[in-house]
Structure 1
Amino acid sequence: MFDVNDPSYLARCAQLAMVLEVSASPKPGNVDRDHDYPDTTFEHFLASAIGAYPVLELAARSQSGVGALIHASARESLQWQRGGNTHFGAFVLLIPLLMAAGSDTPVSTIVENTTASDAAQFYRAFSIANVRVDSVAEIDLEDPDSIDRILEEDIKLFDLMKLSADHDLIANEWVCGFERTFQCAEMIAENADRMSINDAIVFTFLQMLAETPDTFIRTKFGKEKSIEISKHALEILTGNRDLDAIKSRIHEFDRRLIHERINPGSTADIIIGGLFVALVRGLVV
Structure 2
Amino acid sequence: MNPSYVSKCAQIASVLEVSGHPKPGNVHRTQNFPDMVFEDFLLSGIAIGESMEKSARKGFKYKSKTEKWDKIGLGKMILEAVRETDHWVANNTNLGIVMLLTPISVVAGMSEDETVNWDVFRDKIDQLIRSTTSEDAVNLYQAINIADAGGMGEQDDLDVANESSLQKLRDDNVNMFRVLEMSSAWDKLSYELTHKMPVTFEIGYPVFQRVKSEKGINEATVQTFLTILSRVPDTLISRKFTDAKAGEVSARAQAILEEGGILTRKGTSIVGKFDQELIKGGLNPGTTADFTASSIMVAYLDGYREYKAKVH
Alignment partners' CA distance in 1, 2:99 and 2:218: 24
- For 2:189, the aligned partner's letter is I
Higher helix share: 2
Determine if the alignment matches structure 1 residue 187 to structure 2 residue 207.
Answer: yes
- For 2:126, the aligned partner's letter is S
Alignment partners' CA distance in 2, 1:81 and 1:153: 35
Determine if the alignment matches structure 1 residue 274 to structure 2 residue 276.
Answer: no
Matches within 5 A, 1:169-188: 169-183=188-202, 184-188=204-208
Match of 1:259 in 2: 280
Higher mean C-alpha displacement, 26-35 vs 179-188: 179-188
- For 2:92, the aligned partner's letter is N
- For 1:279, the aligned partner's letter is Y
Match of 1:37 in 2: 33
Match of 2:9 in 1: 13
Match of 1:132 among 140, 146, 150: 150
Match of 1:208 in 2: 228
Higher mean C-alpha displacement, 211-220 vs 137-146: 137-146
Contact 1:191 1:200 in 2 (8 A): yes
- For 2:101, the aligned partner's letter is L
Give the length in aligned residue pairs. Answer: 279
Determine if the alignment matches structure 1 residue 218 to structure 2 residue 238.
Answer: yes
Runs of 5+ unmatched residues, structure 2: 60-71, 112-120, 307-312
Superposition deviation, residue 245 in structure 1: 2.7
Superposition deviation, residue 136 in structure 1: 2.9
Contact 2:259 2:266 in 1 (8 A): no
Match of 1:102 in 2: 109
Match of 1:56 among 52, 56, 60: 52
Determine if the alignment matches structure 1 residue 87 to structure 2 residue 108.
Answer: no
Contact 1:116 1:151 in 2 (8 A): yes
Match of 1:71 in 2: 79
Alignment partners' CA distance in 2, 1:187 and 1:132: 30
Alignment partners' CA distance in 2, 1:238 and 1:11: 35
Alignment partners' CA distance in 2, 1:193 and 1:49: 24
Alignment partners' CA distance in 1, 2:95 and 2:294: 12
Say if 1:244 and 1:194 are closer, same or farther in 2 by CA, change over 3 A. Answer: farther
Alignment partners' CA distance in 2, 1:31 and 1:17: 15
Q: Deviations over 1:129-173 (max 9, x none)?
A: 111316234522221111111000000100111111121111111
Contact 2:233 2:247 in 1 (8 A): yes
Alignment partners' CA distance in 1, 2:248 and 2:287: 16
Contact 2:157 2:165 in 1 (8 A): no
Contact 1:203 1:243 in 2 (8 A): no
- For 2:299, the aligned partner's letter is A
Superposition deviation, residue 278 in structure 1: 0.4
Higher mean C-alpha displacement, 67-76 vs 124-133: 124-133
Superposition deviation, residue 115 in structure 1: 0.7
Same amino acid, percent of matched pairs: 34
Alignment partners' CA distance in 1, 2:214 and 2:266: 14
Superposition deviation, residue 174 in structure 1: 1.2
Alignment partners' CA distance in 1, 2:264 and 2:142: 42
Superposition deviation, residue 239 in structure 1: 4.9
Match of 2:266 in 1: 245
Superposition deviation, residue 243 in structure 1: 3.4
Contact 2:138 2:169 in 1 (8 A): yes
Query: TM-score scaled to structure 2, two decimals?
Result: 0.86
Alignment partners' CA distance in 2, 1:198 and 1:220: 28
Runs of 5+ unmatched residues, structure 1: none
